[in-house]
């Protein structure tokens, strides 16, 4: 029973942090209009957040490897709340860019430690369930957080959106102080440099690369989803919030289905789901002008985007058992690296004169590269299995 309250406190924090990351897609046009910048420049706010996670995740996680987890996440959450408050009052684009980057610096390290806390306080045999609940906090941000944040931004201004996110973060911060126990670091914990040695393994590096490349295509589409839906599919700005809700519902369903498929056949499901995602993006590019088809594909894209994540996370755990916390943080950084590059090349495609619709097609091609890399990892697993079998069993 005690673990339920701990996980709920962490879910509120995950919900607030993830909403702050994903809601940008719904308020991008409002930010661009208010600060008098282009859509592609506004999209670089996603890049700012991603860069902060890319740098902050591995760096802070390794530097705080011997810190007690509760005081650490309390400070990390405080920085996040302050960053969202600064975002709400930012007077210009450079200030908002800096605030988003500062907020993101602590996010990956918080997630990595939250996962360890949820697992270590869970009853025996329930660790995976506790961790999956944290993922539900991310799904909840897609179902409720991003649509509500977009609704607030549409009717009260984008600054009110960041103010609401800061308030949610403050509530989570208080819940963590009240409900999360102070768990000391393990006394036998290895040094920072010893933990970094885990990345000498090719399998670990390939697993992280799959996270980055396999998600880059859909992240570019999601970054520019609001202008794609309004400019190509013909939806009103008010309809974007409902479409993000559909995306979030799909993401929740996809997360649970993807987790079950990954438990049964990890590599088979990963390759198959990535192939389905590439096909979805291709169909989106072909039929984006049809509003009904576009709405269905938004839901399907959400389901497929999140269906691949459980398997990718499990793969990193399986290949980096000697340093799971650091590996989780670096994997989160890989995801954000994909987001940063996706926002950049998405803007480059727009500025290059190819048009918004071309983002769908380029996204499908990038996802295909993730399929190829996943297939290579699968082949390595099969070869390793063959070489480890006793000769008599062949």
pLDDT at 352 exceeding the cut of 50: yes
Q: Is the dihedral of CA 232, 235, 238, 239 positive or negative?
A: negative
Instruction: Give the single-character DSSP code of 200.
Output: G
> Is 183 strand, coil or helix?
coil
> How much is the average pLDDT of 9-37?
87
Please report the pLDDT score of residue 201 as a whole number.
85
Please report the pLDDT score of residue 80 as a whole number.
92
Q: Is the dihedral of CA 31, 100, 334, 297 positive or negative?
A: negative
> Which of 75, 103, 66 is CA-nearest to residue 326?
66
pLDDT at 138 exceeding the cut of 60: yes
CA 192 to chain centre: 25
What is the per-residue pLDDT across 261-306, written as a single tens digit (0 to 9) for each? 887 788 898 999 999 999 999 999 999 999 999 999 999 999 999 8
Q: How far apart are CA 74 and CA 70, in angstroms?
A: 6
What is the per-residue pLDDT across 165-200, written as a single tens digit (0 to 9) for each? 999 999 999 999 998 887 765 544 555 666 677 788
> How much is the average pLDDT of 336-351?
80
Q: How far apart are CA 244 and CA 237, in angstroms?
A: 11
Query: Between residues 73 and 256, which one has the greater pLDDT?
Result: 73
The contacts of residue 357 (CB under 8 Å, 6+ apart) are: 228, 232, 285, 288
Please report the pLDDT score of residue 239 as a whole number.
87
236: left (phi over 0), alpha (psi -120 to 50) or beta: beta
The contacts of residue 144 (CB under 8 Å, 6+ apart) are: 245, 248
Q: What percent of the chain has pLDDT over 90?
A: 28
CB burial class (10 A; 0-12, 13-18, 19+) of residue 220? Answer: buried
Q: What percent of the chain has pLDDT over 70?
A: 90
CB burial class (10 A; 0-12, 13-18, 19+) of residue 382? Answer: exposed
> How much is the average pLDDT of 219-228?
88
Q: How far apart are CA 367 and CA 348, in angstroms?
A: 18
What is the per-residue pLDDT across 239-253, written as a single tens digit (0 to 9) for each? 887 888 888 889 888
54-73 core/surface letters (b: 16 or more CB in 10 A; e: else)? bbbbbebbbebbeeebbebb
The contacts of residue 313 (CB under 8 Å, 6+ apart) are: 328, 331
Instruction: Give the single-character DSSP code of 185.
Output: P
- Across 100-104, 188-192, 299-303, 368-372, least confident range: 188-192
Q: Directed axis angle between helix 324-351 and helix 39-63, to 10°?
A: 160
Q: How far apart are CA 36 and CA 46, in angstroms?
A: 17
What is the per-residue pLDDT across 199-212, written as a single tens digit (0 to 9) for each? 888 888 999 999 99
Q: How far apart are CA 323 and CA 157, in angstroms?
A: 43
> How much is the average pLDDT of 115-131?
68
Please report the pLDDT score of residue 168 as a whole number.
93
Please report the pLDDT score of residue 187 as a whole number.
44
Please report the pLDDT score of residue 389 as a whole number.
58
Q: How far is CA 25 from CA 32, 138, 265, 299, 384, in A?
A: 12, 15, 33, 15, 42
If you average pLDDT over every residue of the chain, what do you get? 83
> How much is the average pLDDT of 334-351?
80
Query: Between residues 187 and 390, which one has the greater pLDDT?
Result: 390
CA 347 to chain centre: 20
> How much is the average pLDDT of 303-328?
79
What is the per-residue pLDDT across 55-93, written as a single tens digit (0 to 9) for each? 877 888 888 777 778 888 999 999 999 999 999 999 999
8 A C-beta contact, residue 142 and residue 302? yes
Q: What is the maximal distance between C-alpha atoms in the chain?
A: 72
Q: How far apart are CA 258 and CA 315, in angstroms?
A: 13
Q: How far apart are CA 325 and CA 327, in angstroms?
A: 5
Residues in the chain: 394
Please report the pLDDT score of residue 360 as a whole number.
93
End-to-end CA distance of the chain: 49
pLDDT at 126 exceeding the cut of 50: yes
């Amino acid at each position: 029973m005690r673990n339920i309250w701990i996980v709920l406190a962490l879910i509120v924090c995950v919900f607030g942090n993830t909403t702050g990351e994903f809601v940008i897609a719904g308020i991008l046009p409002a930010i661009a209009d208010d600060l008098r910048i282009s859509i592609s420049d506004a999209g670089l706010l996603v890049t700012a957040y991603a860069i902060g996670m890319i740098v902050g995740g591995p760096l802070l996680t390794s530097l705080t490897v011997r810190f007690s987890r509760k005081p650490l996440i309390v400070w990390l959450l405080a920085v996040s709340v302050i960053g969202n408050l600064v975002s709400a009052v930012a007077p210009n684009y450079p200030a908002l860019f800096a605030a988003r980057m500062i907020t993101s610096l602590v996010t990956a390290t918080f997630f990595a430690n939250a996962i360890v806390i949820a697992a270590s306080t869970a009853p025996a045999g329930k660790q995976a369930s506790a961790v999956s609940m944290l993922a539900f906090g991310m799904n909840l941000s897609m179902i409720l957080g991003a649509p509500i944040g977009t609704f607030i931004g549409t009717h009260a201004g984008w600054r009110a959106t960041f103010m609401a996110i800061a308030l949610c973060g403050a509530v989570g911060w208080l819940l963590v102080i009240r409900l999360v126990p102070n768990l000391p670091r393990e006394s036998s914990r290895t040094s920072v440099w010893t933990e970094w040695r885990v990345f000498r393994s090719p399998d670990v590096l390939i697993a992280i690369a799959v996270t980055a490349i396999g998600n880059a295509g859909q992240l570019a589409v999601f970054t520019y989803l609001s202008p794609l839906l309004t400019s190509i599919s013909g939806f009103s700005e008010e309809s974007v919030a409902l479409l993000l809700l559909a995306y979030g519902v799909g993401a929740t369903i996809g997360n649970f289905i993807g987790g079950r498929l990954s438990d049964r056949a990890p590599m088979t499901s990963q390759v198959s789901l990535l192939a389905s995602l590439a096909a979805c993006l291709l169909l989106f590019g072909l039929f984006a002008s049809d509003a009904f088809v576009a709405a269905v594909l938004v839901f399907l894209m959400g389901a497929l985007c999140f269906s691949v994540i459980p398997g990718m996370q499990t793969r990193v755990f399986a290949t980096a058992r000697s340093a799971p916390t650091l590996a989780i943080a670096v994997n989160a950084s890989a995801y954000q690296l994909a987001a940063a590059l996706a926002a950049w090349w998405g803007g480059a495609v727009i500025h290059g004169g190819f048009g918004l619709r071309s983002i769908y097609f380029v996204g499908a091609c990038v996802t295909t590269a993730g399929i190829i890399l996943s297939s290579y990892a699968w082949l390595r697993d099969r070869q390793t299995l063959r070489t480890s079998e006793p000769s008599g069993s062949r």
